[in-house]
């Protein structure tokens, strides 16, 4: 009985070692680039935000002025879209950037970017916009919209 157990243990050990040898650890054929199917849908809620944040009687005129001033920015239609992908480590520098003319409320794109973890920032309706611009968006944490 002991001899049978020993043979069984040796057989299992041999099978385990042989099985490990069958794993192909050569990663040279693995892609370094990822095909990303990107779907973008523009959702704006400026009216809700203004009503929620500026709801006092004295703030209603400010809310109306802001809504008029930002009407070309916060629309349900995007003319252009700016896509930035940032490093998740260190100073969060921009690693990949694309701009597209969208002319819709939603659109799909196929992106080819290196395989890694990213932070992502999408900005719409910024091209040729005289009221709002993007500043310092070479790094994610410094990116900001200003007028």
Residue % of the chain over a pLDDT of 90: 30
Its pTM stands at 0.66
Please indicate whether residue 5 or residue 66 has the higher confidence score (pLDDT). Answer: 66
Alpha-carbon distance 5 to 23, whole Å? 28
Query: How does pLDDT run across 115-135, given as a tens digit for each residue?
Result: 989 999 998 888 888 878 888
pLDDT computed for residue 21 by the predictor: 46
Mean pLDDT, the chain, integer: 81
Query: How does pLDDT run across 71-97, given as a tens digit for each residue?
Result: 777 778 888 999 999 999 988 999 999
Alpha-carbon distance 46 to 74, whole Å? 7
Residue 104: name the closest of 137, 79, 141, 124 by CA: 79
Where helices occur in 22-77 by DSSP H, the ranges are 46-53, 60-69
pLDDT computed for residue 45 by the predictor: 82
pLDDT computed for residue 71 by the predictor: 79
DSSP for residue 24: -
Residue 94: name the closest of 104, 84, 103 by CA: 84
Query: How does pLDDT run across 27-48, given as a tens digit for each residue?
Result: 566 668 889 899 988 888 888 8
């Amino acid at each position: 009985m002991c001899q049978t157990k020993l043979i069984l243990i040796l057989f299992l050990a041999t099978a385990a070692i042989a099985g490990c040898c069958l794993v192909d650890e050569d990663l040279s054929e693995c892609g370094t680039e990822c095909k990303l199917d990107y779907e973008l849908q523009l959702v704006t809620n400026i009216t809700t935000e203004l009503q929620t944040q500026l709801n006092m009687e004295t703030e209603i005129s400010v809310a109306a002025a802001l809504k008029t001033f930002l009407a070309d920015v916060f629309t349900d239609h995007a003319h252009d879209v700016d896509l930035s992908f940032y490093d998740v480590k260190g100073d969060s520098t921009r690693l990949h950037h694309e701009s597209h003319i969208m002319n819709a409320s939603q659109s799909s794109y196929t992106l080819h970017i290196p395989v890694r973890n990213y932070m992502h920032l999408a900005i719409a309706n910024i091209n040729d916009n005289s009221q709002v611009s993007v500043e310092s968006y070479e790094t994610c944490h410094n990116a900001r919209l200003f007028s």
